[in-house]
Amino acid sequence: MKSLVAAFCLLLVAAPVAAETVNVKVGVLREAHSRETLSILDIPAADDTLAGALMGAADNNTTGKFTNQTFETIDAKLDEGDNVVAALDSLIEKGALFIIADLSPERLLAASERAKSKGALLFNVSATDDRLREEDCRANVIHVAPTRSMLADGLAQYLVWKQWRRWLMIKGSHPKDELLAQAFRNSARKFGAKVVEERVYEDTGGGRRSDSGSVQTQRQMPLLTQNAPAYDALIAADESEVFGGYLPYRTWDPRPVAGSAGLMPTNWDPAHEQWGALQLQNRFIQTFRRLMNARDNAAWLAMRMIGEAATRTASNDAEKLRLYMLGKDFSIAAFKGVRLTLRPWNQQLRQPILLSDGRIVVSVSPQEGFLHQVSELDTLGVDQPETKCRLK
């Protein structure tokens, strides 16, 4: 458990200012992510997600010096068997009514249920499940992480722009792999691509990153991809990190890989530098001696959204801040080239999707030419007319 309180100093101010210091306490409720990643570069650090929140709080505290507000981060890390409700209660007891949640969908919904009676507001920074914004949407959850459908649409727009419209899709055998595969199917239909064939890679529990791994995978992947109908791009739906990373350079036909490997859609990449992002990357590296991943960035952004709303409303009231964030005056700068706003119907943050090959940001969606009557960002993901969300 860590806490960070920044000192504040009173200065002359002309901005909306609370007469006395307003303290905003933000809990970071996070579970451990798998260390079984295909690449050791993706093994999460001990301060995964938390680091982003801490940096956001430091930013907010710098602003707070002028507005008489302080921001405090309270960390709560869950182990596998830990009870999320108990951890949430403990955070709320300490005064944290804003919760940055890096949780599985099940735990997030349980936390939301509990938070309802306590008046706490959750910020989902990692769960990409569309159902959390649709049939299972909740009024006390704001979604900073993009959905699978937003990620898939971001990739699909680029592939269609490239005229790579015929996709061979290989999906993993776990439920969340199927959810991602479904998102890719929907995107193909939406943007005029075609999944020419689907295959499943069964997870038989073999050792990842084992000594003989490269020999095995070098033989397996061509077999997995041979005898396919004509296709332009191989789409990997492997959220479970079982095989996707092994596909590039090992396919039977020489084809680009996209999805869970190769060209990957994401809300943030440590190689992203456009629109001043280099600034954020530099600050993060200097402070935490590591690169900023997508969860860190979403946590930073959640903290910044809280800070921005608190600054503009001169308040720390969770409901007041939520209503401000949903209003027309709210927008947030996130080094993505455009201002980000919330979709009021399901409290999902609109955002561009980066397409990264792991070294370079190849492109950023929405792609030029995909138009929308409200915001081009709404060409990504489930749009208002299709939503099943009834906020309650």
| Closest distance to other proteins from the beta carbon of 113 (Å) | 34
Distance CA 180, CA 185 (A): 9
Query: Using CB under 8 A, which of the segments 7-15, 24-32, 72-80, 116-124 binds other proteins?
Result: 7-15
Q: Where are the alpha helices (DSSP H) in 213-290?
A: 213-225, 277-288
Query: Counting contacts by CB under 8 A, is residue 379 touching other proteins?
Result: no
| Closest distance to other proteins from the beta carbon of 10 (Å) | 11
Give the list of residues 6+ apart from residue 294 with CB closer than 8 angstroms, or none: 145, 266, 267, 268, 269
Give which of 377, 365, 386 is closest to 332, Cα–Cα. Answer: 377
Query: Using CB under 8 A, which of the segments 87-95, 98-106, 134-142, 330-338 binds other proteins?
Result: 330-338
Taking residues 10 to 49 in sequence order and writing x for each that binds other proteins by CB under 8 A, - otherwise, the string is -xxxxxx---------------------------------
Of 161 and 252, which has the nearer Cβ to other proteins?
A: 161
Query: Counting contacts by CB under 8 A, is residue 118 touching other proteins?
Result: no
Query: Counting contacts by CB under 8 A, is residue 337 touching other proteins?
Result: yes
Residue of the chain from 312, 327, 370, 387 that contacts other proteins (CB under 8 A): 312
Of 14 and 19, which has the nearer Cβ to other proteins?
A: 14
Residue whose pair of structure tokens reads 């990957």 in the numeric block: 264
Query: Counting contacts by CB under 8 A, is residue 362 touching other proteins?
Result: no
DSSP string, 300-331: HHHHHHHHHHHHHHT---HHHHHHHHHSTT--
Give the list of residues 6+ apart from residue 200 with CB closer than 8 angstroms, or none: 170, 171, 172, 173
Of residues 266-295, those binding other proteins (CB under 8 A): 276, 279, 282-283, 286
Query: Counting contacts by CB under 8 A, is residue 153 touching other proteins?
Result: no
Query: Counting contacts by CB under 8 A, is residue 182 touching other proteins?
Result: no
Nearest-5° Cα angle at 95, 92 to 97: 65
Taking residues 42 to 71 in sequence order and writing x for each that binds other proteins by CB under 8 A, - otherwise, the string is -----------------x--xx-xxx----
Of 244 and 352, which has the nearer Cβ to other proteins?
A: 352
φ, ψ for residue 27, nearest 5 deg: -90, 145
Query: Counting contacts by CB under 8 A, is residue 122 touching other proteins?
Result: no
Residue whose pair of structure tokens reads 């939503």 in the numeric block: 387
Tell me which DSSP letter residue 224 carries.
Answer: H
Residue whose pair of structure tokens reads 């699978």 in the numeric block: 148
Query: Counting contacts by CB under 8 A, is residue 116 touching other proteins?
Result: no
- Parallel, antiparallel or unpaired: strands 361-365 and 353-356: antiparallel
Query: Counting contacts by CB under 8 A, is residue 311 touching other proteins?
Result: yes
Query: Counting contacts by CB under 8 A, is residue 309 touching other proteins?
Result: no
Distance CA 226, CA 257 (A): 14
Binding positions for other proteins, rule: CB under 8 A = 11-16, 59, 62-63, 65-67, 276, 279, 282-283, 286, 304, 308, 311-312, 331-333, 337-339, 375-377
